[in-house]
Chain A
Amino acid sequence: MSILIMNALVNGILLGGVLALLAFGMNLIFGVVKVIHMAYGQSVMLGMYVIYTLSGIYNLPLLVSAAAAIVVMTVFGALLQVVVIQRLLQANRLNQLLALAGLIIVFENFAQVVWGADLRGIQVFMPVLSVGNVFIKTSNLVAFVGALVVLGLLHFFLQKTYLGLAIRAIAQDLRGAWLMGISPRTIYLVTLAVGGGLTGVIAAFFSPIYSVHPHFGGSFTMMAFIIVVLGGMGNLLGGFIGAFVIGIVTSLAAVLTSTEIAEIIALVIFIGVVMVRPQGLLGAKQQR
């Protein structure tokens, strides 16, 4: 029994790494543009479909399709900002939520029309390592390490570059940054582009692990929400911690009970946080 738990624990941690990327993207967008990207998981799904199309149908090597997916999703993120999000900035939060939720419907059905409702996976052989009694899939390990590397790069970008500094400034004081010569529109564009590119990266890590289908984004979007709220909306470190907490909890719960119960537990955590401590673990106290 404990072997099962060990495995679940390890895989939970590995999953947490990629979830941390997901949380980072959502937190970045929320922190800077002040919008909850309801369709973020669905964007990852689209990225996976791009990889499927290039590697699964046209047989390009995985690295090439991954790179292509990142580029495509970066552009996609930028387009989303210009076409949809920029116009939503005047609306109240609820309308923003609903409009972005509408995007969920658009993306999922687009996927269904173009690629059909069946599972689409790419065949990539990645061995399984064993350390003692624990079995680790290299695909998961690569995802974990890769996620940490990307997070490190993003951290470096935000802390050490002028553009990163500008992004942080806009997140903290929009007017102040505006008065210092930073164009909010430009920063929003960069943020959504980075967020988009990140979905491409996540898609690249997920593709060897999961098969994609039109509703794939659904549980990941929900998961991302839960993590982001748990850690504190807009708080990057909180998202990082929250990702591992949720990754481990759901992994253990799935093994001890069932996948559905695991999701229910995560949702209950979510509800609990919203009710009792809506600012999450590390977020600033806010008025509801």
Chain B
Amino acid sequence: MKRAVIVLIFGLIAVFPALGPSSYVLHIATLIFIWSFIATAWSYMGRFGLVSLGHGAFLGLGAYTAGLLFNSLGLTPWLGMILGALLAVGLALIIGLACFRFGVIGDYFALLTLALGEIVALLLVAFREYTGGSLGFTLKRVEPSLLYLHFDDKVHFYYLALAFLGAALALWKLIDRSRMQKALRAIGEDEVAASTLGIPIVRYKLYITMVSAFATAIGGVLYAQYVTYLNPHTLAGVAPSLDIAFKAILGGMFHLWGPSIGTALIVVLEEYIRVVYGTRFVGISQIAYGVALVVLIMFLPKGIYGSLEGYFRKLRRRS
């Protein structure tokens, strides 16, 4: 039953553009796909207790690497993506080694990553001759092509983003089946016990962190290519880092669909309020979002999907 529903939903999403929706709707959908991709990437780590509040670092590294190489050397974003992702992985490796070797976990880890995200943002601003500082920069205009990830219509990006999201979800399932997942689950529950069982703690934590960084950086490039504009405050620093974490947690970071659901809800909510109240009151959508977040954390710590799932499970048990 469940599988049929999923296939149906995917099918609908796949044929959706053919049903003739406006390009605005396609735009929103694409944004949802891209941010869901990023939120899912974040959750690779988050679900095992490695909550990072600094993923903006990876987002920004990926986006700026690819974007700068594109603008100055005309390098295809596909390559730029890989390079940026590798840089992000490098950073993850350094920070990960330092943290996990020193036993930095939990909220200290979260705060440390927060600082890290902010450092990357500040660096991007500091090197303003190259990056355009706080004002950011725009990607060069080129002919639409798959090679340069640039299109004139929305449909292409819609499918592209969807494909990437699918890949991220597939990777999630893959991780689920791997030995690493069991190990990380054990580490998440009781690190000391896990290490006495001989589980190489640092190694597995590093792996998942690097995977998460890699994917997030790619997501950053995707977003930058889509909006063709890069800004250190939207792609790095505290704001996007918290944003990603919130989207994932709101939907439920322990479940496959959680981050996507959370993202969808938030993007739709923001757009709705922007449309209804105009740009001046975009702040209101954020307020509502912030309030919703606070309230949700107070009352539904497992996120929307997690809590719903738990609720249905309880119902089933009772019958």
**Residues of chain A having any CB pair with chain B under 8 Å:** 36, 84, 87-88, 91-95, 97-99, 101-106, 108-110, 112-113, 218, 222, 225-226, 229, 258, 260-261, 263-264, 267-268, 270-271, 274-276, 278, 288
Is there an interface contact between A84 and B111, defined as CB atoms closer than 8 Å?
no
Residue numbers in A under 8 Å from B111 (CB-CB): 97, 225, 229, 270, 274
Is there an interface contact between A109 and B107, defined as CB atoms closer than 8 Å?
no
Is there an interface contact between A109 and B115, defined as CB atoms closer than 8 Å?
no
Is there an interface contact between B104 and A274, defined as CB atoms closer than 8 Å?
yes
Is there an interface contact between B115 and A267, defined as CB atoms closer than 8 Å?
yes
**Residues of chain B having any CB pair with chain A under 8 Å:** 51, 53, 98-99, 102-108, 110-112, 115-116, 118-119, 122-123, 125-126, 238, 242, 245-246, 249, 280-281, 283-284, 286-287, 289-291, 293-294, 297-298, 301
Residue numbers in A under 8 Å from B116 (CB-CB): 267, 271
Is there an interface contact between A98 and B287, defined as CB atoms closer than 8 Å?
no
Is there an interface contact between A109 and B108, defined as CB atoms closer than 8 Å?
no
- Nearest residue, chain B, Cβ from A106: B290
Across chains A and B, which 10 residue pairs bring their CB atoms closest together, nearest first? A105-B290, A106-B290, A113-B283, A109-B286, A102-B293, A109-B283, A260-B126, A112-B283, A99-B297, A102-B294
Contact of B104 among A98, A99, A275 (CB under 8 A): A275
Is there an interface contact between A113 and B289, defined as CB atoms closer than 8 Å?
no
Is there an interface contact between B53 and A101, defined as CB atoms closer than 8 Å?
yes
B121 CB to nearest chain A CB (Å): 9
Is there an interface contact between B99 and A275, defined as CB atoms closer than 8 Å?
yes
User: Across the A-B interface, how many residue pairs have beta carbons closer than 8 Å?
Assistant: 119
Is there an interface contact between A98 and B283, defined as CB atoms closer than 8 Å?
no
- Nearest residue, chain A, Cβ from B292: A102
**Contact A91 B287, CB 8 Å, known A105-B242, A264-B119, A275-B98:** no
A234 CB to nearest chain B CB (Å): 14
What is the CA–CA distance of A222 and B249 in the complex, to the nearest angstrom?
Answer: 23
Residue numbers in B under 8 Å from A101 (CB-CB): 53, 242
19 contacts between A and B (CB under 8 A): A94-B107, A95-B297, A97-B110, A98-B246, A98-B249, A98-B293, A101-B53, A102-B297, A103-B290, A105-B290, A109-B284, A113-B280, A218-B238, A263-B118, A264-B123, A267-B118, A270-B115, A274-B111, A275-B99
Is there an interface contact between A91 and B297, defined as CB atoms closer than 8 Å?
yes
B115 CB to nearest chain A CB (Å): 5
**Contact A268 B119, CB 8 Å, known A98-B249, A288-B105:** yes
